[in-house]
Structure 1
Amino acid sequence: MSVPIMVAEVAPVYGLTSGRVVSLVAALVALAGVGFGGMALFRFVRRRAVIALAAGAVGVVVGGWVVAVAEGGPGTGAGIVGGLVALVLGLVALALGGMALKQS
């Protein structure tokens, strides 16, 4: 007697899932860090450089966590694309904040 094999098809998810929300918030925080890092590099303000470093660190940590625990690829609602964006923007914010802190 043969047992029927069930194949689960993954349908694309179009709504906001918890993975997408977390990765979106992390990407926005990292984007703010890039903005603060650019302003700190332009005007040599130490406080903005520290904010850029903190926001960049949050973006890298949360984005990396989302990418690490995501089950599935893009379009599954796990937030992997937003996690990658947060990871990259966080690294840019860390670099800008570090350069601005070095100059101030």
Structure 2
Amino acid sequence: MSAPAALMAAAEGGIIGDGRTGASLALLAGAFGVALAWLATRRAGRRISSVNPRTAGMAAMATGAAGTVLAVLHLATADGGPGTGNGLVGAVVAVPLGLGALVLGRRALTRSAARTTPPGG
């Protein structure tokens, strides 16, 4: 398939349709948020770290929230059911992934705050 034909097929929804694109973006945002939260949680317990756990935790929470909102919007506007090519299953998977990023990001923030609080204060 030539490049112009591939672009035309993509524009018509033959390769990746509009429905799958929204779900894929939500999945990507949720997965990125979980990865950031995991990294922040792992680094929060260490004394010397190359990643600021507070910054990574907040970024994970923001990315997870964005992925969850995208997935819920996609679920609300998707036509048809699972298996129709609208990305409905991807959006269903993206919701708990984004919520997991929110929870893990909050955990990283809590762990980093507990580590930086002086004893008795």
TM-score under structure 1 length normalisation: 0.82
> What is the one-letter code of the residue matched to 1:46?
R
Quick check: 1:41 aligned with 2:49?
no
The gaps in structure 2 that reach 5 residues or longer are: 1-12, 45-52, 113-121
Quick check: 1:87 aligned with 2:121?
no
Q: Which residue in the other structure is 2:62 paired with?
A: 54
The gaps in structure 1 that reach 5 residues or longer are: 1-12
Quick check: 1:96 aligned with 2:104?
yes
Identical aligned residues as a percent: 41
* Cα distance, 1:15 vs structure 2: 3.6
Quick check: 1:31 aligned with 2:31?
yes
Quick check: 1:19 aligned with 2:27?
no
Runs (4+) of structure 1 exceeding 4 A deviation are none
Query: Aligned Cα RMSD in Å?
Result: 1.5
Structure (1/2) with the larger helix percentage: 2
TM-score under structure 2 length normalisation: 0.71
